Each structure stands twice: as structure tokens, then as C-alpha cells.
Structure 1
Amino acid sequence: MTNTSAVSGQGPRLGIQLVMKNAMAALKFYTEVLGAQELFRLVEPSGRLGHAELSLGGVTLAIADEYPELDILGPQSRGGATSLLNLSVDDVDGLAQRAIAAGAILERPITDEFYGDRVAHLRDPFGHRWALSKRLEHLSPEELQRRFQQLVGG
């Protein structure tokens, strides 16, 4: 494994890789619905997607098909997602509707949250959870804490 800080001089960098069933369909969903740009893909002769990289929201997102023989499984095989991807967008409602029309499931109503964002919580057709968000208010940590305590009854 390469030490990124030694290569880039910028310190550690986090990379995101999503594993799922039917990664080729996911590649299409992420590019056509979420606006990702495909950088490249590596496809086995069988058609299984070994690795693809997409540019989305200023981050490189890697995706791949499951490799059950190596215990590399996605949320559909594991019984649900264990993470949430937060994507900042200009039009939460519009993008959420496009995602739903393409097979995503709205997990809770689109709303303006206490922390100052408009948010749509979705599960994509491949089992990954997304929060599409747009900042409506810039709040101080003190105001965030006050609103949070009010929300949870503290």
C-alpha cells in the first residue's frame, strides 16, 4: 500500500469505494442521475465490474461489483447500508425526484433540518444511503447546540 502523505505531501486522504450488486447499472445511475463523471472502468471478460472511478462533488468515488469469493459484499447482500453519503447539491427537491424516478427510495420526507440544511434522505437502487443537502443557513456551533437540545428535549 502506498503512503499517500509521502506521495502527495498533503497528508492522509480518504477514498470512497462502494461495492454492490450490478455495479454497471450503478455506474449509469450515478452518472445519469447524480451527475457523476466517469473517469475509467475495469471490466472482467465475464462483464463483472472490477473497478470504476467517478468524479462526484469534488471527490473520486470508486465502485465495484461484489466479489463474494473474497467476502467483498455490498449492502444488499449484507442486509442494509452501514454508511451515509452526503452530497451537497443546488436543487435538493429536483434531484431527489430524478433519483426516485430512476429507482431510489425516499427514506423520510424532504425537509429543512434544524442544522440549517434542506435534506432528502434516499436509498439508491443498489442499497447505498444518500443525503442530498443544500445549506440554507450558516449557524454557529452554539446555535447548532441550542437547536439540537431543543430537538431532543434537553
Structure 2
Amino acid sequence: MTQQSRISPRLIVPDPDRASAFYQDALGAEQVFRAPAEDDGRPSVVEHRIGGSSFRVSPAVSSWGWLSPADLGGSAVLLEIEVDDPDAVGRRMTAHGAEVVVPIENRPYGRRSGRIRDPFGHLWIITGELRTLA
């Protein structure tokens, strides 16, 4: 019997609603589920979809071991997103408060890519087809 599996990253952030708004605005993510708010006013999980992929955001809760990149002093994971126009996505991300870590440019390995740190400390590789200069 073949078993289907799926992996869905969960990004730990201080404010899931603010992060959700960022990912919707900057990456075009669609919010597909939001859990009711907990006692502190934050939802325990907000699920998003981009194309055929999904990811979730949840609040930092140290007693559960859910620590944000700020709690850890950085992100131990790189999230890679392949898009039609890496430059446009990078511009949208930075316009919404992200920071360029490695500029998006044509790379010798045959991709156009760069690295962006979102406002919550998560690192994203934004990648796509090489851009030809006209």
C-alpha cells in the first residue's frame, strides 16, 4: 500500500496575524484557515497556500518550545520559493518590511535567485528562471 505524505512548514512568529498579512501581500499567499484566537488574542495557527504548497504560521510560545528566529538569534531553516518573477517578489517583500540578505541576480548555476529575511526573521530563497538582458 502506498502512503501519501506531505510536509507543511510552520513558521513561528510573534504575531501570526501580522505575519499572515505580510505573506498575503508580499508573496500572494492565500489564507485558507485561521484558528480562533487564544486567550492572548493570537490564533494558534494560520494556514496559507501558494500554488500547490502550503505553510502555516503560529505564535511563539516558549513553554511549548515554539521559538521564533528572534528568540533563537536567527533562522536555522531556508525556505525556497520558485516564482515567475523573482525580482518583483523581492521588491514586494522589501516594500513590506523584508531585508535583502543576498541580492537577486543571475547565478552561475543557471538560476536567478537571492535571499530575503522577512520581518519575522525567516530566510527565503527567491528563485526563478534566468533573466536575459535585452
Q: TM-score, normalised by structure 1?
A: 0.78
Shift of 1:11: 3.4
Question: Does residue 1:82 correspond to 2:76, yes or no?
Answer: yes
Question: Does residue 1:12 correspond to 2:5, yes or no?
Answer: yes
Shift of 1:28: 0.2
Bigger radius of gyration among the two = 1
Question: Does residue 1:66 correspond to 2:60, yes or no?
Answer: yes
Shift of 1:110: 1.7
Shift of 1:95: 1.3
Unaligned runs of 5+ in 2: none
1:5-154 to 2 correspondences below 5 Å: 9-42=2-35, 43-136=37-130
Shift of 1:103: 0.4
Question: RMSD over aligned Cα, in angstroms?
Answer: 1.7
Partner Cα distance (1:86, 1:10) in 2: 25
Question: Deviations 1:74-112 (Å, cap 9, x if unpaired)?
Answer: 111110000111111111111111110110000022211
Q: TM-score, normalised by structure 2?
A: 0.89
Assess if the C-alpha contact under 8 Å between 2:97 and 2:119 holds in 1: yes
Higher helix share: 1
Partner Cα distance (1:14, 1:54) in 2: 13
- Report percent identity of matched pairs: 34
Assess if the C-alpha contact under 8 Å between 1:57 and 1:87 holds in 2: no
Q: Higher relative contact order at CA 8 Å, sep ≥6: structure 1 or structure 2?
A: 2
Assess if the C-alpha contact under 8 Å between 2:27 and 2:93 holds in 1: yes
Aligned length: 130
